[in-house]
Structure 1
Amino acid sequence: MHIENRTFDELKIGESAELRRLVTADDLLAYANVSGNHNPLHIYDADGDGDGRPEAMAPGSFVTALVGAVLGNVLPGAGTLYHAQSWRFHARSFADDELVIRVTVTDKNEKETTVTLATEVRRVADDVLVLSGVAEVLAPRRKVEYDSHDLPGLIVQRHRHFEKLLKKAEPLPALRTAVVCPEDPNALGGALKARAHTLIEPILIGDAGRIAEVARAMDASLDGIEIVDEPLHRNAARKAVELVHAGSAQAIMKGHLHTDMLLRPILDKQTGLRMGRRFTHIFVMDVPGQPHPILVTDAAINIAPDLKTKVDITQNAIDLAISLGIEEPKVGVLSATETVNPDIPSSIDAALLSKMADRGQITGGLVDGPLAMDNAVDLAAARTKGITSAVAGRAEILVVPNLDAGNMLAKQLTYISHAEAAGLVLGARVPVILNSRADDDMSRLASCAVAALHHARMTGGHIPS
């Protein structure tokens, strides 16, 4: 955008300029970090005045800074310096308010080359005056013209997609969940936090003495929670499967044991929980800066899936995405290239999956591939490479070639892009909540929310909009 300032000599009394700005919760978080003002009145999920509701009120200094943006960018523009300023607040603004910020030249002082401007900020929706004041500035003497450049971007590490999933899942009936070996603070703490959020009603299976010891160390109460004493991990996992068969558990959650030990009785062909479709793992990832959750599959179970397995991987991911509220999931089947190359087997599988979806062998979503990572998730990259597709640049589901690729992608998003990951295994009679021992509270809560939402849809329950 081409920008041109107004010099002192060019300015005329009565001249005015304005900008509009939508205030977001992320703006207020960024401002709190930059300013050091952590007043809970201004934080989107905090209650600053004790009335039981979060305020998300824009700080007064944030609103006044918007006036500075008009003065520095538009009128007078580049080269302007503050000399004095007075403010009066008439009302407050909040996250999601659109504001119009207006300045008007009211006086010029030739001797000091200062300009006086009336300033005001109004809420657009109801035209309420938020702020009025007078600014005295040193106006530029020299003409400046330039093309504006984007500043380095800021990404707020707020996981808004998971927050929405939690809010959506909490009204559902608590999912009766067999928690296998919650014998360390992370595993037990995650189950108890999910219970506090009414996401699950845990049945704790493991060494009862060890579970009680961990709870005491955490100063946590186990009152009202069923505990099944099974000191051996393999027996605890079998007991979880038995509870599902008996109708006492609607989900299984991994605690402090190895994944293969948890899954072995679930996969048993005679007594397990098979349903005919392959077991597949899905990471639901909340990546800061992305407009929607990203589902990565399969990153934990199927090491080198063949085409038949990839069909189940894709279908399970589509089913889960629909449960999360994505009406028509867009699936990008990843390869190293966006064109079919006979020397790259993953590109052939991707093309076949795409065609199978076209023919109704995979249902419920749009499937396209092969796509490279860039043109699967970035619309500009897809356009640069001339890819015209409803999926390219917009994929919500990423189907990876093998476990290595999926695990690396998920870990890169977690540790480099600061994503949170919820993990779920599908293909069994009930959701299997699969968390890593390193996962934090939000990951564990989100995994339970994802399981609750999927269970509700698959059993015909009502999911809040």
Structure 2
Amino acid sequence: MPTPYAPPAESEHWHQTGDQHRRLIDSVRPLPTLTTAVAHPCDEASLGGALAAWREGIITPTLVGPRARITAAAEALGESLDGLTLVDTSHSHASAETAVRLAAEGEVQALMKGSLHTDELMSAAVDRRTGVRTERLMSHVYALDVPSYPRPLLISDAALHIAPGLDAKRDIIQNAIDLARALGIDPPRVALLSAVETVRATLPSTIEAAALCKMSERGQIRGGILDGPLAIDNAVSALASRQKGLVSDVAGRADVLIAPNLESANMVAKLLIYLARAQAAGLVVGARVPIMLTSRADDIETRLASAALAARLVHFQREGDDDAR
């Protein structure tokens, strides 16, 4: 088993940005490297991130894209591609399709987004004939290292599902629980967010939160402790939850935040990144292989942390945990 990536002690309230992600990266060093198809790494940022994860011993990359453009990016970085497999393609759509095909055929254990649009990669991934779909919906999970929060914080879904219904939210929650457990957070505390902490007929997110909690009690969602509806202050602040008189195993110490919709999840994550100096890593979960989604603005540490998330999840699933299936 890898070194536990467990939350620090409750007494620790502030830490340096990136401390938790560095522990995460260190925790995967004993694991076998993750064979990864990197789709269209044709700029310095995406290729540099893949090469950094390779040198850290997290992934073994297969570079999928136009050979000339990848080689040019390597030259701009002053890097050598000796020893790496490069699959030549003609354009970004072909890069996405080829990378996904390698995953679907079991040639690689993970996918990493390069310098192509997310829609291109995800369109190939969700193709019913050639993609990497499972019976469960895919969803995106942000893993945030927030310096003012004493534990890793997962937020979902901020990238794929605009207005998920109840069944979609069940899968979104299960995906986030599986990732949290892969990180050694077991059982994870899951806060179902709304604007208030009481069920109100005029606020649909509160009704869905209550239904999802009952679904968890009935075994339709497994492996986590759910509570909701919870306003975000009650979810992450023990002081706020005490002032409201909440009796909850989740309030004030949530490991996972499930937002009502994509806009709210995206806003919460971006506010933490830009105002609270959180460092974000990201992963699409629920496919046959994890998909690392990064943007051009992401630094190397963020890219390494995303790769480490994928490595932990693959190891967790390979262990054969029933809840991961």
CA distance in 2, matches of 1:454, 1:155: 27
1:227 counterpart residue number = 86
The question of 1:330 aligning with 2:189 is answered yes
| Match 1:254 to one of 94, 110, 113 | 113
2:288 counterpart residue number = 429
2:7 counterpart residue number = none
**How many aligned positions are there?**
309
Amino acid corresponding to residue 258 of structure 1 in structure 2: H
CA distance in 2, matches of 1:417, 1:220: 34
Amino acid corresponding to residue 202 of structure 1 in structure 2: P
1:376 counterpart residue number = 235
Quote how far apart the aligned CAs of 1:155 are. 5.0
- Shift in CA distance, 155/379, structure 1 to aligned 2, threshold 3 Å: closer
Secondary structure of 1:301's aligned partner: coil
CA distance in 2, matches of 1:170, 1:345: 44
Residues 296-348 of structure 1 deviation map (CA, whole Å, 9 limit, x = unaligned): 00000000000110000001100000000001100000001111111111111
CA distance in 2, matches of 1:311, 1:385: 27
| Match 1:211 to one of 27, 51, 70 | 70
Quote how far apart the aligned CAs of 1:221 are. 1.2
Secondary structure of 1:299's aligned partner: coil
Quote how far apart the aligned CAs of 1:229 are. 0.8
2:17 counterpart residue number = 158
Residues 354-380 of structure 1 deviation map (CA, whole Å, 9 limit, x = unaligned): 111112111101000000000000111
CA distance in 1, matches of 2:92, 2:166: 34
Amino acid corresponding to residue 172 of structure 2 in structure 1: I
1:137 counterpart residue number = none
Quote how far apart the aligned CAs of 1:158 are. 3.2
Pairs within 5 Å for 1:237-386: 237-386=96-245
| Match 2:249 to one of 385, 390, 402 | 390
CA distance in 2, matches of 1:158, 1:255: 25
1:132 counterpart residue number = none
Kept after mapping to 2: 8 A contact 1:157/1:418 = no
CA distance in 2, matches of 1:303, 1:445: 27
- Shift in CA distance, 156/319, structure 1 to aligned 2, threshold 3 Å: closer
CA distance in 2, matches of 1:201, 1:240: 14
Residues 385-428 of structure 1 deviation map (CA, whole Å, 9 limit, x = unaligned): 11100001110000000000011111111111101111000111
2:10 counterpart residue number = none
1:25 counterpart residue number = none
Kept after mapping to 1: 8 A contact 2:17/2:277 = no
Residues 143-173 of structure 1 deviation map (CA, whole Å, 9 limit, x = unaligned): xxxxxxxxxxx95533221111111111111
Pairs within 5 Å for 1:173-184: 173-184=32-43
Amino acid corresponding to residue 217 of structure 2 in structure 1: D
1:34 counterpart residue number = none
Quote how far apart the aligned CAs of 1:248 are. 1.4
Amino acid corresponding to residue 180 of structure 1 in structure 2: A
Secondary structure of 1:215's aligned partner: helix
Residues 168-216 of structure 1 deviation map (CA, whole Å, 9 limit, x = unaligned): 1111111010000101111001000000110000000011101111111
| Match 2:271 to one of 412, 425, 428 | 412
CA distance in 1, matches of 2:128, 2:299: 33
Kept after mapping to 1: 8 A contact 2:241/2:251 = yes
Kept after mapping to 1: 8 A contact 2:21/2:145 = yes
Q: CA-atom RMSD, angstroms?
A: 1.3
- Superposed structure 1 runs of 4+ greater than 4 Å apart: none
TM-score with structure 2 length normalisation? 0.93
Amino acid corresponding to residue 387 of structure 1 in structure 2: L
CA distance in 2, matches of 1:357, 1:311: 9
Residues 259-311 of structure 1 deviation map (CA, whole Å, 9 limit, x = unaligned): 01001111011221111000110001100021110000000000000011000
Instruction: Point out the structure with max Rg over C-alpha.
Output: 1
Structure possessing the higher relative contact order (Cα contacts under 8 Å, 6 or more residues apart): 2
1:81 counterpart residue number = none
Percent identity over paired residues: 50
Secondary structure of 2:298's aligned partner: coil
CA distance in 1, matches of 2:186, 2:173: 16
Kept after mapping to 2: 8 A contact 1:424/1:434 = yes
Secondary structure of 1:295's aligned partner: strand
The question of 1:402 aligning with 2:261 is answered yes
Kept after mapping to 1: 8 A contact 2:197/2:230 = yes
1:440 counterpart residue number = 299
Kept after mapping to 1: 8 A contact 2:67/2:87 = yes
Quote how far apart the aligned CAs of 1:245 are. 2.6
CA distance in 1, matches of 2:221, 2:61: 35
Kept after mapping to 2: 8 A contact 1:285/1:419 = yes
Amino acid corresponding to residue 58 of structure 2 in structure 1: L
Instruction: Flag the structure with higher helix content.
Output: 2
Amino acid corresponding to residue 267 of structure 1 in structure 2: V
